[in-house]
A = this chain, B = another copy of it.
Amino acid sequence: MFVIMQNSATRDQIESVTRKIQKLGHIAHQVHGDSRTCIAVTGERGSDDIARIELLPGVARVVPVTLPYKLASREVKPENTVVRVGSVSFGDGNVVIIGGPCAVESEESTLRIATQVADCGAQMLRGGAYKPRTSPYSFQGLGERGLEILGKARDLTGLPVVTEVVTTETASLVAQYADMLQVGTRNMQNFMLLKAVANQGKPVLLKRGMGATLDETLMSAEYLLLNGCQDVVLCERGIRTFNSHARNTLDVSIIPAIKQVSHLPIIVDPSHSSGNRTMVLPHALAGVGAGCDGLIVDVHDRPDEALCDGPQALLPDEFRTLLKLCGGVASALGRELGQPIHEARRLSIASG
């Protein structure tokens, strides 16, 4: 860290700060400028000492040099992490497309939509059994029955399933049915949930909080990595800004920014970032243009009957177009869509 002293700091204050740094076990290097003195500190590791130093008399501010996250940083692990979910790979250069209903509503509708999603060429199935809803009066999900339906949908289509965990108690139950566990945007800093999810031995999809910085997002990933889960995929789903022309503001900048400082894959959720069917495709294409490793898309064939987020769900035909156009953009950038689950394999699994 660097300690910037006030212009008006006295010699005594400077010496006192220097001694405090040494007492904390670090090495202090005084640098005397024209108008003020700074102290460069080496040998420190954590961030808790910053608070102690910046309170001292005469200190103007303290600038951390070391990143707050370790395991999530590219400095610790320079090569890209590739997260495998069954035959699907996130972070190997291809673009993974996940589709499905926002919520599991019934066995019939889920199997029908899952089949359509597979037919369109997607690689994974999404669907919520436990739905965290802003309003207590909204549909809250089918719970364990929803998990069973997701299991059947996987058996039918061969698509691995990602679904959300909302409590520590149900983490292991969800892990019995799901191939990948999702931590939702409102739970990104629910640290107890992160620990419980990390313990399940499954890959995790971690959605960025709508008010979370890049550093906070990676710190939440750090909770997962530190608690035994190495297979973390991040997800940008729009942030809170003053804009009102879309439900959230898709922050494409975070994709290259994450790639610079971290080795983890990052995908985009264009359905929740836009909140509006007419904007899902441009958001998806912007995400692929910015270099994301995949997309997770709400798909519903009867959106005006959907129990959750109908206005943002793509119709199957629109989803097919999205795959085609995203594939084209990926290809123009030297990448391609992930391989769809092969028809033959799909049938053999379904009849198996």
| Residues A249 and B253 in contact, CB atoms below 8 Å apart | yes
Tell me, yes or no, whether A285 is within 8 Å of chain B by CB.
Answer: yes
Residues in B neighbouring A135, C-beta threshold 8 A: 47, 68-69, 219, 222
* Chain B residues whose C-beta falls within 8 Å of the C-beta of A219 in the assembled complex: 134-136
Q: How far is the CB of A95 from chain B (nearest CB, A)?
A: 12
Is the interface on chain A under 10, 10 to 19, 20 to 34, or 35 or more residues? 35 or more
Q: Does A82 contact B (CB under 8 A)?
A: no
* A266-321 interface with B by 8 A CB criterion: 273-274, 277-279, 282-283, 285-291, 303-307, 309-311
Q: Which chain A residues in 39-53 approach chain B with CB under 8 Å?
A: 40, 42-43, 46-48, 51-52
CA distance A194 to B243 in the complex (A): 23
Do A211 and B331 form a contact, CB below 8 Å, given A189-B134, A290-B282? no
Q: Which residues of B contact A254 (CB under 8 A)?
A: 243, 245
Identify which of residues 78-96 in chain A touch chain B, using a CB-to-CB cut-off of 8 Å. Answer: none
The answer to the question of A108 belonging to the interface, with a C-beta cut-off of 8 Å to chain B, is no
Which of A133, A223, A311 has most chain B Cβ within 10 Å? A311
Binds B, one of A121-129, A166-174, A338-346: A166-174
Specify the chain B residue showing the minimal Cβ separation from A284. B289
Q: Are A253 and B245 in contact (CB under 8 A)?
A: yes
Q: Is A252 part of the contact surface with B, judged by Cβ < 8 Å?
A: yes
Cβ-based interface call for A38 (8 A): yes
- A11 adjacent to chain B (CB < 8 Å): no
- A36 CB, min distance to chain B CBs, angstroms: 7
Selecting from A26-34, A148-156, A199-207, the interface stretch reads A26-34
Closest B residue to A40 by CB, please name it: B31
A252–B290 Cα gap in the complex (Å)?
A: 11
Interface hits, A175-215 → B, CB 8 Å: 186-187, 189-193, 209-211, 213-214
Contact check, A48 vs B253: say whether CB atoms are below 8 A apart.
no
Instruction: Give Cα distance in the complex from A279 to B137, angstroms.
Output: 31
Of B190, B210, B273, B305, the residue contacting A186 (CB under 8 A) is B190
**Option from B29, B51, B211 in Cβ contact (under 8 Å) with A311:** B51
Please tell me if the beta carbons of B211 and A211 are within 8 angstroms of each other in the complex.
yes
Partner of A241, one of B8, B216, B242, B325: B242
* Inter-chain contact B245/A241, CB cutoff 8 Å: no
**A240-258 interface code vs B (CB 8 A; 1 in, 0 out):** 1111111001111111110
Beyond A48-B307, A186-B189, A211-B239, list 12 extra A-B contacts (CB 8 Å): A29-B31, A33-B42, A38-B65, A52-B304, A55-B303, A132-B189, A132-B191, A190-B190, A241-B241, A283-B290, A286-B289, A328-B332
Q: What are 13 A-B contacts with C-beta separation under 8 Å?
A: A33-B42, A134-B219, A136-B226, A211-B240, A213-B245, A239-B249, A242-B242, A245-B254, A252-B286, A256-B279, A257-B279, A286-B290, A332-B332
**7 closest A-B pairs (Cβ-Cβ)?**
A211-B211, A328-B332, A289-B289, A285-B289, A186-B189, A246-B253, A33-B42
